[in-house]
Chains A and B, each alone.
Chain A
Amino acid sequence: MGAVGFVVLFPLLGFLVLLTFGRRLGDPVAGWLGTLAVFGSFVSAIVVWLARLGNEGHPYVLRLFDWFSAGGLHVNVSFRVDGLSVAMILFVTGVATLIHLYSIGYMKGDPLYHQFFVYLNLFVFSMVVLVTANTLPLAFLGWEGVGACSYWLISFWFERPTAASAGKKAFIVNRIGDTGFLLGTFLVFEHLGSVSFSRLTAGSLNLSPDTATAIVLLFFLAAAGKSAQLPLFTWLLDAMEGPTPVSALIHAATMVTAGVYLMARLSPILALAHTADLVIAIVGVATAFVAAMAATAQTDIKKIVAYSTVSQLGYMMLGIGTGAYTAAIFLMITHAFYKALIFLGSGSVIHSLNGEQNIRRMGALKKYMPITTVTMILAWLSIAGVPPFSGFFSKGAVLENAFGDSPLLWAAGVITALLTAYYMGRLVYVVFYGTPRFEEVTHGHDPHESPSVMTIPLIVLAAAAVIGGLLNLPVSGFGFLGSWLAPVFGTAQAAYPMSAGLKDGLMATDAVVALLGVFLSWRAWGGVSENPALERKIFFNGWYIDAFYDRAFARTGTAVAEVADTVVDRQIVDGAVTGVAGVARLVGGAGRKVQSGLVRSYLLIMVGGLIVMLGYVLTVAAR
């Protein structure tokens, strides 16, 4: 199991080699080298996994060295191998390998080709450190590392001013979260006397509920920033300015799930903080719903997918909040498969249409891009939760637990599930069916299928998205992931007693809702729809279903989407970001005024400070 060291080492080596020799290696050797490093990491992860089979019960800790100890605080650099971390490294390195492979084709010809892989390898390294770290400070290192890489990669095409400002926004939101992380760490140290995950389960027993709530909420602040939860999610939409493989790897499959991972890792403390859990669940389900609504009205293909990611992250947080950690992790893994697939598929489309991202200028791509089309449809069915695709099982598990916690949470989740099936259907129909509308971007050339270095990852991911449900079937004896993770979560995992009939009923509801969503999207967009004018014609025909669609989605949907977009994004978050920047600018400007260069005014300010101190002293002495 010491192979976990290699999981960490390979991406680091790749990063160092590429940093030193990257420019000399150039296109495409640098890309292949980076991919190889991550693949090596993936192979090591498999070795770790195989070694663990059979003795899942006991976590293994690879202790490299003592980092520092100060004032009772002992921190060592050690990596933790348990069910959770193995599950994480397997899917992180696996998905990362595929996305590296895809990037070799996607980034071809970019002047900063090698630098892209430098960042990407550094990202994988940081992510692996984050999920395998056995102490909070080491996890923080990874946490910061993925944040920094994300910031760099969002503004990778820094000539675009939007890219630069998007990077800035991601930076500010994540810094807010980081403060929560550090404060939470200090509180944990203060009350448990240790910052090691090994001591978490035993130590947290002595926590008072209030302390546990404070710790959880602080870490949730960090997680909400990183995992794009409700008030803080807009940076993720702007983050789509980065290259598409980055969106797929960082802003869909791995980094944004770090918050969910963190909360799952802290499950012993979460189990004690019921108020905080409720907050998490409500924030999660609200995020899921609002983002899904917003996704129904977007025209930029990457924006649709981004909203969809936010929505799915909301589901995961719902799982965390209701104590369904296994379900949340299960959803995280299957989501990584289908969402990475959707992103890469979108990237494939964008690539073939010379960078066009507006779905109004696509259509009928089925004919030209068969592989992309088929894989995208599979991804759609999967995310929609149509049985027996992976999303059905993972989302179903989350919803089942939500029902156990509160039927209201469940209801909101089910409505969101309907929306999910619908908006993805809209994307598929508008982009791949209907009439071609891409003449002006392709200038008469036909779009072409992407090279095999890009389609192979699509196919592999599609296979994973279809059969991913096998990881944790709701049949006794086949809940592999559940039994794999059981020693990690232990008693923290919520157990809701339910009759078999109720469970079957819930699953049936999920399936019906998913199919209903698929059906709705077909009626609304299938075959007929090629531009907004047609929507009105269908509505004019007075089909009940379309009237319903119009009322529920087109109008309210647009309204909610607009509210979500305008109020939440522009005014609240942008306002806050501009506010912070504005205050900083104001104070900075004041600082420059104070720094007048006149020695006598400096003296005056010093004397002013002295007088304040003396005034304070006088009041103390007078007492």
Chain B
Amino acid sequence: MTIPGSWYLVVAALLFGLGAFGVLTRRNVIVMFMSLELMLNAVNLTFVSYARMLNDVGGQVDVFFVLVVAAAEVVVGLGIIVAIFRQRATVTADDISSLKG
């Protein structure tokens, strides 16, 4: 039995939604960040599934680009989070709200 391609797409969409939900609801900055990565990887899964369904190699190549970009984002993101860590004990997103109004 072969699993139809649309199932992969649904799984990817669920993963993407899960990631978005995580970014929206988690208070810990690190976990928010992880959820962001989950979103990106869900997109990767979408790309690969479509590439398979369309029988086109382009979608698979795109995944490599996305991976590289995600890695670059990690570098900068972690740098910023570490900088915040140095100043205060917690990394709760809701505490970081002096800029407002």
Q: CB within 8 Å of B: which residues of A?
A: 592, 595-600, 603-604, 607
Contacts and interface: CB of A to CB of B under 8 A. Distances in A.
Contacts of B20: 607
Q: How large is the interface on B (under 10, 10 to 19, 20 to 34, 35 or more residues)?
A: 10 to 19
Nearest to B27: A600
B91 to A, nearest CB: 12
Nearest to B101: A592
A598 B97 contact: yes
5 contacts: A592-B100, A596-B100, A597-B97, A597-B99, A600-B94
B2 interface: no
A603 B25 CA distance: 10
Given A604-B24, A607-B20, A607-B24, A598 B101 contact: no
**A contact face: mostly helix, strand, loop, or mixed:** helix
Contacts of B71: none
Interface of B: 20, 23-25, 27, 93-94, 96-101
Contacts of B93: 598-600
B97 A603 contact: no
Contacts of A599: 93, 96-97
Contacts of B101: 592, 595, 597
A596 B101 CA distance: 6
A577 to B, nearest CB: 26
B94 A598 contact: yes
A550 B88 CA distance: 80
Nearest to A596: B100
Given A598-B93, A598-B100, A603-B24, 10 more contacts: A595-B100, A595-B101, A598-B97, A599-B93, A599-B97, A600-B25, A600-B94, A604-B24, A607-B20, A607-B24
Contacts of A607: 20, 24
A603 B23 CA distance: 8
Contacts of B23: 603
A596 B97 contact: yes
Closest 7 A/B residue pairs (Cβ): A597-B100, A597-B97, A592-B101, A598-B97, A599-B93, A603-B24, A597-B99
A276 B96 CA distance: 59
B98 A597 contact: yes
A599 to B, nearest CB: 5
Contacts of B25: 600
Contacts of A596: 97, 100
B14 to A, nearest CB: 16
Contacts of A604: 24
A240 B96 CA distance: 51
Contacts of A600: 24-25, 27, 93-94
Contacts of B97: 596-599
A93 B94 CA distance: 64
Contacts of A595: 100-101
A599 B23 CA distance: 10
Most chain B CB inside 10 Å of its own CB: which residue of A592, A595, A600, A603: A600
A602 to B, nearest CB: 10
Nearest to A593: B101
A600 to B, nearest CB: 6
A333 B1 CA distance: 96
A596 B23 CA distance: 18
A368 to B, nearest CB: 59
B21 to A, nearest CB: 10
Contacts of B27: 600
Nearest to B21: A607
A607 B24 CA distance: 9
Most chain B CB inside 10 Å of its own CB: which residue of A592, A595, A598, A604: A598
Contacts of A592: 100-101
A597 B93 CA distance: 10
